[in-house]
Chain A
Amino acid sequence: MSDTSASAPRLLDRAEEAAYELRAQEGSIWTGSRLLIGIVAFVFASLAFAYFYLRSSNNSGLWRPHGVTAPTMIGAPIFAIVVASALLNLYGTLRMRKGLSVDWEVSGWTAVGGLLLATGLQIWELTRLPFFPGSSGYSSTFIGWAALNSALLLTSAYWLETLLARAIRMRKAVAEDGGPARSTAPPARLFRASLEGCSQYVLFAAVINLLFWVLFYVVV
């Protein structure tokens, strides 16, 4: 947020300018990550709208003929892996706040692996469907879900991976200043801001997976 509350207005000196712009960048990452969640929320809200619209319309009696369901044996592990990855990353982030960056790195890499595995399973599930994509409203929305969820999981994994890779690269540079978890150097501060945003995004992905898992696998 901009600092607009200076009691005695005066120009910032050069050092204050650098600090001011750094705060603006941190704020941008904070705001940007939340806004990104809002944008993606509208994508999935559109899918949810399609789900309920077609379900309530039940055109030609073909919302969900014969109660067909996508393979639960694949869908449940996807959901479980995503939620576990998000919680693991959240745990790592909390450890990072306490200065334990290695803990976060371990949990982070595991979460990236989990998210990639979930993406792979989501795509593989498309080859094991017991229905034709255009056979019903349910089948259509499920294909839409699979496409959007794969993108959501891939972007989550990408963001987390880039942060892990950056943490490795900056480790030496900020080693004497407390490492990525404690350093006051601008790259470390921006890194932590991005990590906070990323953790929120991955958690959001888990919430989305929970909601649509209920819609596609639990609700009959």
Chain B
Amino acid sequence: MAISTHESVGVGRPGGTPPPGAAVRRRSAWLGQHMGTAALAAVIGYTIGHYVGNSFANGYENVAASGQNDVSNVLALTLAVVGWLLGSGALNYPIAKLVGREPAPETEETGVGRFFRYSLDHKVVAMQYVIAVLLFLFTGGLLAMAVRTELLSPTTHYFGPGTYIALVSEHGTMMMMMATSVITGPIAGWLLPLMIGSRRMAFPRVEAFSLWTFIAGYMVILTALPYGGFPTGWTGYAPLQTQASGGMDSYLVGFIVVGSGMIAAGFNIAVTIINYRAPGMTWSRLPIFVWSLLAVASLLALATPTLATGCLFGILDRTAQTAFFVDEHGGSSFLWENLFWFFGHPEVYIMALPGFGIVGEILPVFTRKPLFGYRVGAAGMLGVALLSFFVWQHHLFQSGINPDMRPLFMLTTELISIPTGFIYLTAMGTLWKSKIRFEVPMLFALALYFNFLLGGISGVYLSDVPVNVTVHGSFFVMAHFHYTIMGGLIFAFFGGLYFWLPKMTGKVMNKKLSLIHFWMMFIFFNATFFPLFIVGLLGQPRRVFEYAQRLQGLNDFSTISAYLLASSFIVFTINFAWSIFIDPKPAPANPWDSLGLEWQVPTPVPYNNFDRIPLILADPYHYGEPVHTPVADLGVPAVALAGAGGGGGGPSGGLGAGAPAVDGEGGASDV
């Protein structure tokens, strides 16, 4: 795998683009390769794979006996992904490199068409990610509705048990795949260079690759349903994995594809943060969101290869007839469990940490106070990331771990609550005695802390072996991780969207609809999942479509709440479509009076982000100080200068708070 280099012209810009101010050649986005050609090539690849697989593997004894040709499935899915990447243009440069070609100069594209093409502009890629992530989220959400519908009654069934577990598995896998990238793709992809004063991501092609593999992974995992689904849940446990029908191939290939994108994203984020910080952006001035991304990037890059390797072993078991996970032939089903959870537990923090990073950015803005305990918060994030590599065996307390090892992993798991407490401390210290502006992003941030508290505390209980033994495999566990992942990450994602959409799109979301969305989501999220703690404690097992009659009331309450929770997303979708596309209203340049560097550039953000590389002069949390150091010298008139005074306070060297400037009218060179 080669590290890409660029030609001298426009060094430092995606694909070697011309320097700022130079004439930019524009071309139609519909010429050449785009999503349509990618889809066509994927279909062709899929067909070829199936044909070839059937040609040489149909005669295999195991294929003839079972009527299930996993070789054909895996080849078809793999070639479909290769076709998708070829058709999109993702492989053009890697192929051209074989003959020593330099990358073609990137041309700035305009119009809607650029969002359907392989783009090297991190802002375009991030917007593509937004749509892809929402697609993932809503598809997984629909599957959740099917699951909850089945649970309306313990005796009347809409689906058979096989279909039910296939729906549960598909829902869980899709949501987990989505959750790994929900912030690192759209929000981090858009903001990271702007926050550190860079004109680009370190490797724009790697970033684009992560997006296109993410979309390919979505399609691959969707194919599991026509293949008959898979019965393992998102954890893919062996030996069920080895025995499952063709849908399991989609799971294994899908996780390798999405995992490749995750590794690429983590790799790119880490390299960008280390190398592309603007002059003056010292480690102690790094925004807390960037610290969270650095922690997450290390997890993405180092934990995900284990999952991908485990999936490869699974594929070999199903196609080449190896026996990695087959106990009777010298393998071990516990091997999968270990490999999976060595990735799977860091995965939890891959999902949690960027959420904490986002709310860490939101809190100071809406409390008009500096972030309390900045260094403690950053240390907490790195501590969580490090410790997350040493806790995976707590998932095996009940399934074969040496009992003598249980106390060790109980201890490491409980230890992780300490750095998590650091992160909470920064939030509570920032909120202490502050005058909070209850804007929509702030409401989502506060909701995260409420939800994650319940999820986190129930997690501490679950890490204790006696409790774990009691509630393992029940809805209690299910409620716990929904409180951490949906209650934490997804609330943070929406908080971040509402906070940064005015910068990303230049348009403002309808506030009334946004508030309706928030309150519906917050109330019905808790109404859906809190009862599941209770039914779990009362003994309802996960992944089983029948349950005790006495639990029907709570289940029905949860299901109806889930429908209302889903309708909150419809409100969001209507709001998004209305505010961004149908009746757009221009957003003020800095609607929240943030000191963040990303808010100091014009909207829409120029192709190269900054005309001059900014000189960073201070961290972006000097709120509430009557006189403060400007955050950066941008070398051009600033678009707005956020007031740092408490409660929307006074001027700070330029435009005062509460007086958002029109683009380009700031007048101050220091921001």
B338 within 8 Å of A by Cβ? Answer: yes
Query: Is A43 a contact partner of B309 (Cβ separation < 8 A)?
Result: yes
The smallest C-beta distance from A124 to any residue of chain B, in angstroms, reads: 16
A197 within 8 Å of B by Cβ? Answer: yes
Residues of chain B within 8 A of A47, CB atoms compared: 309
Query: Is A4 a contact partner of B277 (Cβ separation < 8 A)?
Result: yes
**Partner-binding segment picked from A87-95, A115-123, A182-190, A209-217:** A182-190
- Interface 1/0 per residue, A65-106 and B, CB below 8 Å: 100000000000000000000000000000000000000000
Given A9-B615, A21-B199, A134-B321, CB of A50 within 8 Å of CB of B11: no
A interface size (C-beta, 8 A): 80
In B318-336, the 8 Å CB interface with A consists of 320-324, 326-332, 334-335
Residues of chain B within 8 A of A143, CB atoms compared: 316, 320, 322
Instruction: Give CA–CA (A126, B632) in the complex, Å.
Output: 60
Query: Is B324 a contact partner of A144 (Cβ separation < 8 A)?
Result: yes
Query: Is A32 a contact partner of B279 (Cβ separation < 8 A)?
Result: no
Which of A11, A36, A60 is within 8 Å of B3, CB to CB?
A: A36
Which of A14, A28, A187 is within 8 Å of B8, CB to CB?
A: A187
A62 within 8 Å of B by Cβ? Answer: yes
Instruction: Give CA–CA (A163, B97) in the complex, Å.
Output: 8
B306 within 8 Å of A by Cβ? Answer: yes
Given A43-B305, A53-B335, A134-B322, CB of A144 within 8 Å of CB of B312: yes
Query: Is A31 a contact partner of B274 (Cβ separation < 8 A)?
Result: yes
In A133-192, the 8 Å CB interface with B consists of 133-141, 143-144, 147-148, 155, 158-159, 161-170, 185-187, 190-191
Query: Is B100 a contact partner of A28 (Cβ separation < 8 A)?
Result: no
Query: Is B612 a contact partner of A11 (Cβ separation < 8 A)?
Result: yes
A218 within 8 Å of B by Cβ? Answer: no
Instruction: Give CA–CA (A77, B244) in the complex, Å.
Output: 39
A208 within 8 Å of B by Cβ? Answer: no
Query: Is A11 a contact partner of B97 (Cβ separation < 8 A)?
Result: no
The smallest C-beta distance from B16 to any residue of chain A, in angstroms, reads: 10
Instruction: Give CA–CA (A169, B327) in the complex, Å.
Output: 54
Which of B97, B279, B310 is within 8 Å of A3, CB to CB?
A: B279
Given A4-B279, A54-B335, A165-B99, CB of A32 within 8 Å of CB of B326: no
Instruction: Give CA–CA (A29, B106) in the complex, Å.
Output: 20
A113 within 8 Å of B by Cβ? Answer: no
A109 within 8 Å of B by Cβ? Answer: no
Given A2-B281, A17-B612, A57-B332, CB of A38 within 8 Å of CB of B313: no
Given A43-B308, A186-B8, CB of A24 within 8 Å of CB of B330: no
Which of B11, B305, B324 is within 8 Å of A25, CB to CB?
A: B11
In B604-653, the 8 Å CB interface with A consists of 612-615, 617, 633, 635
Residues of chain A within 8 A of B316, CB atoms compared: 133, 140, 143-144, 147
A207 within 8 Å of B by Cβ? Answer: no
Query: Is A40 a contact partner of B2 (Cβ separation < 8 A)?
Result: no
B157 within 8 Å of A by Cβ? Answer: no
Q: Which residue of A lies closest to B614 (CB)?
A: A11
Instruction: Give CA–CA (A185, B308) in the complex, Å.
Output: 39
Query: Is B279 a contact partner of A35 (Cβ separation < 8 A)?
Result: no
Instruction: Give CA–CA (A22, B324) in the complex, Å.
Output: 47
**Partner-binding segment picked from B122-130, B228-236, B263-271, B517-525:** B263-271
Query: Is A6 a contact partner of B280 (Cβ separation < 8 A)?
Result: yes
Instruction: Give CA–CA (A170, B327) in the complex, Å.
Output: 56
Q: Which residue of A lies closest to B617 (CB)?
A: A9
Query: Is A60 a contact partner of B100 (Cβ separation < 8 A)?
Result: no
B112 within 8 Å of A by Cβ? Answer: no
Instruction: Give CA–CA (A161, B278) in the complex, Å.
Output: 34
Query: Is A32 a contact partner of B324 (Cβ separation < 8 A)?
Result: no
Query: Is A158 a contact partner of B2 (Cβ separation < 8 A)?
Result: yes
B98 within 8 Å of A by Cβ? Answer: yes
Residues of chain A within 8 A of B410, CB atoms compared: none
The smallest C-beta distance from A89 to any residue of chain B, in angstroms, reads: 14
Instruction: Give CA–CA (A57, B334) in the complex, Å.
Output: 10
Query: Is A21 a contact partner of B279 (Cβ separation < 8 A)?
Result: no
The smallest C-beta distance from B197 to any residue of chain A, in angstroms, reads: 9
Query: Is B330 a contact partner of A186 (Cβ separation < 8 A)?
Result: no
Query: Is A35 a contact partner of B271 (Cβ separation < 8 A)?
Result: yes
Query: Is B12 a contact partner of A63 (Cβ separation < 8 A)?
Result: no
The smallest C-beta distance from A9 to any residue of chain B, in angstroms, reads: 6
Query: Is A21 a contact partner of B11 (Cβ separation < 8 A)?
Result: yes
Query: Is A194 a contact partner of B323 (Cβ separation < 8 A)?
Result: no
Query: Is A27 a contact partner of B612 (Cβ separation < 8 A)?
Result: no
Highest count of chain B CB atoms <10 Å: which of A40, A57, A58? A57
Residues of chain B within 8 A of A43, CB atoms compared: 305-306, 308-309
Sorting the interface of chain B by its residue count into under 10, 10 to 19, 20 to 34 or 35 or more gives 35 or more
Which of B1, B5, B275, B339 is within 8 Å of A50, CB to CB?
A: B339
Instruction: Give CA–CA (A173, B464) in the complex, Å.
Output: 66
Which of B3, B100, B278, B332 is within 8 Å of A53, CB to CB?
A: B332
Instruction: Give CA–CA (A28, B11) in the complex, Å.
Output: 13
Instruction: Give CA–CA (A136, B329) in the complex, Å.
Output: 5
Instruction: Give CA–CA (A163, B198) in the complex, Å.
Output: 27
Given A2-B279, A158-B1, CB of A39 within 8 Å of CB of B339: no
Query: Is A36 a contact partner of B332 (Cβ separation < 8 A)?
Result: no
The smallest C-beta distance from B242 to any residue of chain A, in angstroms, reads: 10
Which of A24, A137, A158, A164 is within 8 Å of B323, CB to CB?
A: A137
Residues of chain B within 8 A of A53, CB atoms compared: 332, 334-335, 338
Which of B2, B8, B101, B272 is within 8 Å of A194, CB to CB?
A: B2
A127 within 8 Å of B by Cβ? Answer: no
Instruction: Give CA–CA (A194, B326) in the complex, Å.
Output: 42
B202 within 8 Å of A by Cβ? Answer: yes
Which of B2, B271, B329 is within 8 Å of A31, CB to CB?
A: B271
The smallest C-beta distance from B295 to any residue of chain A, in angstroms, reads: 15
Residues of chain B within 8 A of A18, CB atoms compared: 11-12
Query: Is B335 a contact partner of A38 (Cβ separation < 8 A)?
Result: no
Q: Which residue of A lies closest to B322 (CB)?
A: A140
Residues of chain B within 8 A of A186, CB atoms compared: 7-8, 11
Query: Is A33 a contact partner of B635 (Cβ separation < 8 A)?
Result: no
The smallest C-beta distance from B610 to any residue of chain A, in angstroms, reads: 10
The smallest C-beta distance from B500 to any residue of chain A, in angstroms, reads: 24
Query: Is A25 a contact partner of B5 (Cβ separation < 8 A)?
Result: yes
The smallest C-beta distance from B426 to any residue of chain A, in angstroms, reads: 24
Instruction: Give CA–CA (A31, B317) in the complex, Å.
Output: 36
Which of A4, A21, A140 is within 8 Å of B330, CB to CB?
A: A140
B301 within 8 Å of A by Cβ? Answer: yes
Query: Is B312 a contact partner of A29 (Cβ separation < 8 A)?
Result: no
Which of A12, A59, A147, A155 is within 8 Å of B1, CB to CB?
A: A155
Query: Is A4 a contact partner of B305 (Cβ separation < 8 A)?
Result: no
Query: Is B324 a contact partner of A60 (Cβ separation < 8 A)?
Result: no
In B1-42, the 8 Å CB interface with A consists of 1-3, 5-8, 11-13, 19
Instruction: Give CA–CA (A139, B329) in the complex, Å.
Output: 10
9 further interface pairs, Cβ-Cβ under 8 Å (given A24-B198, A54-B331, A143-B316): A9-B633, A20-B12, A43-B306, A54-B324, A57-B332, A134-B326, A140-B329, A162-B100, A194-B3
Task: Kindly list the 9 A-B residue pairs having the minimum CB-CB distance in the complex, ordered from nearest.
Answer: A21-B12, A62-B330, A165-B100, A137-B330, A190-B5, A186-B8, A46-B309, A169-B100, A134-B323
25 pairs of residues in contact across A and B, judged by CB atoms under 8 Å? A1-B275, A2-B274, A2-B278, A11-B614, A27-B275, A28-B3, A28-B276, A36-B267, A42-B303, A43-B308, A46-B310, A46-B342, A50-B324, A50-B335, A50-B339, A53-B332, A134-B321, A136-B323, A139-B330, A140-B323, A162-B2, A165-B99, A166-B100, A168-B100, A169-B100
Which A positions have Cβ atoms within 8 angstroms of B? 1-4, 6, 9-12, 14, 17-18, 20-22, 24-25, 27-29, 31-33, 35-36, 38-40, 42-43, 45-47, 49-50, 53-54, 57-60, 62-63, 65, 132-141, 143-144, 147-148, 155, 158-159, 161-170, 185-187, 190-191, 193-194, 197-198
